[in-house]
């Protein structure tokens, strides 16, 4: 292992550029060496912004490069398993975008394979470091664990027109359940662990949509405790992100305005890092009690923490903050949600 971790990124769409390159090029422990993309627009972008970074068209030019320590897979979900498997066989450590795989069995196979080859797998559940989620997590950590009754978590947008791209195509791993559902499910697991059972209602609400674009997922815990996870492409205005109901208080966290996302591709990597990787919130959450309410500030988002933790794991052998068992449980819930929807019944975890 080099003193700095040499990185190759496979895929340079929104994720590869926005979430990974913008952090890696400014991080003291990483050296971005290669990017794989076949898109002319992206090649021009890389040449302009990152002239020192090599560009290739085949993923295997990165996978088979002996100088690369860490491969970031920022590719469509249906490519995750095969590329991750080949990286592990080549002795590479890997970062894989969420969802890790499209099936629980694939995730378990990759875990076994990485243990055999003594490589590391890091799944990019960056929403663990959203400021609003950090506030929710902190509130629960400072409360009686038996006090909570229910959590509603939302990931709503207003996108009445179906966008072009693989996420909207009818293929393995596409649709809102794998895209936004994987975030909400992961956060639920972080807060409360695995549920006792799952129920889901998956829907296509927009006329031109080919895959599920809306859902309600119910995670049932001991007694009457439950989590409701909701996502839609047709909600607008005065939205909530979280509503936590406890026996003696409620925590309400509003949702942020998503309108800025439309201009992301026009921003430089430095602007992306400053504006989004450590985003400040200009609104507050509310704690409501029987006789009073109070506002509380939301801590800043810190997506850089993912790569901070990763560097500590690779360079100094410290435990990584996201375990593969948590990741595998999340994929299991996605599969159970699909099964529950098809059978119209509650499925035991």
DSSP codes joined into one string, 216-246: EEEEE-STT-EEEEEEESB--SS-EEEEEEE
User: Minimal CA–CA distance to 96: which of 110, 111, 108, 84?
Assistant: 84
Question: Is 60 domain-assigned?
Answer: yes
Q: Could you say which of 124, 141, 157 is where a domain stops?
A: 124
Question: Is 305 domain-assigned?
Answer: no
Whether the Cβ atoms of residue 286 and residue 293 lie closer than 8 Å to each other: yes
pLDDT of residue 269: 78
* Mean pLDDT, the chain cut into blocks of 10 residues (349 residues total): 87 92 94 96 94 97 98 97 98 98 98 98 97 97 91 95 92 96 98 98 96 98 97 90 96 78 66 75 94 94 96 96 98 98 98
Q: Report the DSSP beta bridge partners of residue 228.
A: 152, 218
pLDDT of residue 277: 75
Question: Is 216 domain-assigned?
Answer: yes
Specify the DSSP class assigned to residue 74.
-
Q: Could you say which of 76, 103, 124 is where a domain stops?
A: 124
What is the count of structural domains for the chain?
2
Residue 254 DSSP SS3: strand
> What is the dihedral angle through the alpha carbons of 10, 14, 15, 19, rounded to the nearest 10 degrees?
120
Cα torsion 247, 251, 252, 256: sign = negative
User: Minimal CA–CA distance to 35: which of 4, 3, 73?
Assistant: 73
Same domain, 94 and 62: yes
Residue 288 DSSP SS3: strand
Q: How many CB atoms lie within 10 A of CB 190?
A: 19
pLDDT of residue 2: 58
Same domain, 154 and 273: yes
User: Residue 279 burial (CB < 10 Å; 0-12/13-18/19+)?
Assistant: middle
Same domain, 113 and 244: no
CATH code for the domain in which residue 206 is found:
3.30.360.10
Same domain, 153 and 110: no
Same domain, 147 and 228: yes
pTM for the model: 0.95
Same domain, 195 and 100: no
pLDDT of residue 205: 97
Question: Is 24 domain-assigned?
Answer: yes
Same domain, 106 and 215: no
Question: Is 51 domain-assigned?
Answer: yes
Same domain, 107 and 135: no
Residue 135 DSSP SS3: helix
Domain of 34 in residue numbering reads as 5-124
Residue position matching structure tokens 């627009």: 41
E-assigned strand segments in 74-165? 93-97, 121-124, 148-156
CATH code for the domain in which residue 93 is found:
3.40.50.720
Same domain, 136 and 115: no
Question: Is 311 domain-assigned?
Answer: no
Integer Cα distance of 274 and 255 in angstroms: 21
Question: Is 315 domain-assigned?
Answer: no
Same domain, 296 and 154: yes
Question: Is 29 domain-assigned?
Answer: yes
Q: Length of the chain, please?
A: 349
Q: Could you say which of 81, 106, 124 is where a domain stops?
A: 124
Same domain, 88 and 174: no
Same domain, 112 and 139: no
């Amino acid at each position: 292992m080099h003193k700095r971790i040499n990185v190759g990124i496979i895929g340079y769409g929104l994720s590869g550029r926005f979430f990974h390159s913008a952090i890696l090029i400014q991080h003291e422990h990483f050296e971005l060496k290669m990017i794989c993309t076949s898109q002319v627009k992206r090649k021009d972008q890389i040449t302009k912004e990152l002239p020192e970074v090599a560009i290739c068209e085949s993923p295997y030019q990165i996978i088979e490069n002996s100088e690369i320590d860490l491969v970031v897979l920022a590719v469509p979900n249906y490519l995750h398993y095969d590329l991750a498997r080949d990286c592990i066989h080549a002795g590479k450590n890997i970062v894989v975008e969420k969802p890790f795989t499209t099936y629980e069995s694939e995730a378990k196979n990759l875990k076994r394979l990485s243990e055999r080859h003594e490589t590391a797998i890091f799944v990019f559940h960056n929403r663990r470091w959203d400021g609003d989620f950090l506030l929710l997590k902190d509130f629960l950590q400072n409360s009686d664990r038996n006090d909570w009754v229910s959590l509603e978590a939302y990931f709503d947008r207003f996108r009445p027109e179906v966008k072009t791209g693989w996420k909207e195509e009818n293929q393995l791993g596409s649709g809102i359940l794998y895209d936004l559902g994987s975030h909400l499910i992961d956060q639920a697991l972080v807060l409360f662990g695995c549920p006792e059972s799952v129920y889901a209602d998956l829907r296509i609400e927009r006329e031109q949509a080919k895959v599920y674009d809306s859902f309600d997922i119910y995670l049932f815990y001991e007694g009457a405790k439950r989590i409701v996870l909701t996502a839609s492409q047709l909600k607008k205005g005065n939205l909530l992100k979280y509503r936590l109901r406890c026996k003696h208080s409620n925590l309400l966290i509003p949702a942020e305005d998503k309108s800025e996302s439309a201009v992301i591709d026009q921003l430089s990597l430095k602007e992306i890092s400053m504006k989004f990787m450590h985003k400040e919130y200009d609104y507050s959450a509310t704690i409501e009690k029987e006789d009073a309410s109070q506002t509380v500030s939301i801590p800043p988002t810190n997506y850089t923490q993912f790569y901070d933790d990763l560097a500590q794991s690779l360079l100094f052998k410290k435990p990584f903050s996201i375990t593969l068992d948590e990741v595998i449980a999340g994929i299991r819930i996605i599969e159970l949600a699909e099964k529950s929807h098809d059978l119209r019944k509650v499925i035991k975890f």
